[in-house]
Every structure is written in C-alpha cells, then in structure tokens.
Amino acid sequence: MSGFSQATTIVVDDPNVEISNNGLCSLAEAIIHANDDAVTQQDCPVGSGADTIELSTDVTLSTDLYVPDPTYGRTGTPIITSEIIINGMGHSIKRSTVCIPDGTEDTGDFRLLRNGAGGHLTLNNVTLENGCADGVGLFAAGGAILNHSGASLTLTNSIIKSNRSYDSGGAIFNTESSILNLSTNKFIDNIAVDSGGAIANEKLATIDLIDKSEFIENQATYGGAIINVNGGVINSIKRSTFSNNASTGGGGAINNTSADLSAANIGTIENL
C-alpha cells in the first residue's frame, strides 16, 4: 500500500513575523513548516504535503529576517518552494510604512513574498500592502510578490495596494513563470519607477486569466497598470476595469510590447 500524506492547516496567530519560541505561530514559521514538512519551531504544526496557512490576525513585517539573496534581494518572509495556500481570512500582510524607492536597497526595503522554484502559491482574501523592492535588477522587481523560476501563482478576492518597486512590477513581477488566475482583485496605488505599476509580465512568463478585477491609480513610466513585454503572454483579460492609471512613457492602462495579449469586455476610465 502506498503512503498517504494529508495536508495540514497552519493557523498564524502572531501579528509579527519573527522566528522565536514565544507560543505564537508566525507567518515565517508557518511558511518554513509548510515548505519543509518538518518541525523547525515548536509554535506551529508540522506541514504535510500541500498545506494551507490561515491568518487569524493582521501580519506586519517590520524588518527583513533573512540575508539578502544575491540575485533577488530582500524579502520579508521565507521563499516559497512548495505548494501552499494562504487564506488571509480578510487580514493583511504588510510592511509598516510606504517606501519611496530610490535605487538603493536599504535594510528596511523588502518585498512581501517570493515564490520561487517548486513554489505553487495560492493567495485568497488577503490584503498585501506597502511592499518595497528597491535597488537594481531583480532586487527592485515585485514590490508585493516576485514570481520566478517556474513557479505558479493564483491570487483571488484580494486587495493589493501601495506597493512600490524601483524597477518593474510595483505589486507583482512575473518572470519565466506562470500566473494561473487573478480574479476579483483590486490593485490600488501601486507604483513602479520603470514599468508595470501593478503587474509586470515578461521573459516568456504567462498570465492565464485576469477577471473581474479593478486597477485604480497605479503608476509607472511604461504601463501604468500592466506591462506585458519580451515574450510575455496574457491569455485573457475580461470583465475588468482600469481607472486613473498613469504612465509617462506609454500605456496608461496597459503597455503590450513584443508580447501577446487577449482582452475583452474591459472598461477604461481616464488612464493617462
């Protein structure tokens, strides 16, 4: 008889993200347990297979806990390398303050989440706020989420607001990976200094579906809300609205350059 692994639900009840034996399960500890399927800290149950992390509190990331990755820079939580569902239950994951990216990665500058090789991340009913990707190159990509190296991402019923990046993807940067579903989300006041105020999709990355989502007051030099470039593919944008997004270099709502995009039944209002 083959073995059977039953997924675990890990409840986060620590409003901070530190790793310590304090009797509370933090988001960092929950991700580590879900990735490793092993007991690393005593405060969270051990993961098993495709685990679900549920937030019972808002989570504030006050500092980055990890040595900056030499390729991807700083992230306020451990890299996701397994199949994980994060149910926000209406709570938030955020940095404490909005940042002003200046091309220099300082200690307090970090994105919220990184989904890397082996990662299959689903986020539902969560607010992602005040992420900050600063520096140069991939250090400065994806203020809220960096999705890379063949990872897959699903994001639904969520609010993504006030995230910043110095390069691309004020909220989400998707490169050589896939986003399966972005539905019923609100992207508000996300800014990339270069491109893709809310979302940057590039280097053969794919987005299968953007549906019933709102893009409001996002900004970038190119692609105020979305940039799709360098072989990126967006298979479907539908039943979504773009309002008051702005770019100074082209594509107040969407910039599609050397890439494939299909859109139907979308509304645009005063994008610049």
Percent of the chain at pLDDT exceeding 70 = 96
What rounded mean pLDDT belongs to the chain?
Answer: 93
Q: Which two tokens mark 251?
A: 């594509």
pLDDT at 114: 97
**Distance in angstroms (rounded) separating the CA atoms of residues 18 and 36:** 18
Instruction: Encode pLDDT of 10-64 as tens digits.
Output: 999 999 988 889 999 999 999 999 999 988 888 999 998 899 999 999 999 987 6
Of 55-64, 131-140, 185-194, 220-229, the range with the lowest mean pLDDT is: 55-64
User: With 60 as the cut, is the pLDDT of residue 202 above it?
Assistant: yes
Q: What is the pTM of this model?
A: 0.96
222 strand-pairing partners: 195, 250
- CA torsion, points 101, 107, 113, 117, in degrees to nearest 10? 110
User: With 60 as the cut, is the pLDDT of residue 183 above it?
Assistant: yes
pLDDT at 6: 73
pLDDT at 3: 46
Percent of the chain at pLDDT exceeding 90 = 85
Q: What is the mean pLDDT of residues 57-78?
A: 87
Residue recorded with tokens 């994951």: 93
Q: What is the mean pLDDT of residues 152-158?
A: 98
pLDDT at 263: 85
Spatial neighbors of 119 by CB under 8 A, at least 6 apart, are 79, 80, 81, 82, 83, 84, 147, 151, 152
The conformation of residue 132, written as its DSSP 8-state character, comes to E
Spatial neighbors of 4 by CB under 8 A, at least 6 apart, are none
Tell me which H or E stretch contains 36.
helix 27-36
Q: What is the mean pLDDT of residues 134-154?
A: 97
**Distance in angstroms (rounded) separating the CA atoms of residues 105 and 92:** 24
168 strand-pairing partners: 195
207 strand-pairing partners: 179, 234
User: With 50 as the cut, is the pLDDT of residue 246 above it?
Assistant: yes
pLDDT bracket for residue 5 (50, 70, 90)? low
Q: Which two tokens mark 49?
A: 């297979």
pLDDT at 65: 65
Q: What is the mean pLDDT of residues 107-124?
A: 96
Tell me which H or E stretch contains 190.
none
Q: What is the mean pLDDT of residues 191-212?
A: 97
pLDDT bracket for residue 2 (50, 70, 90)? very low
Q: What is the mean pLDDT of residues 86-104?
A: 96
Pairing, β 206-207 against β 172-175: unpaired
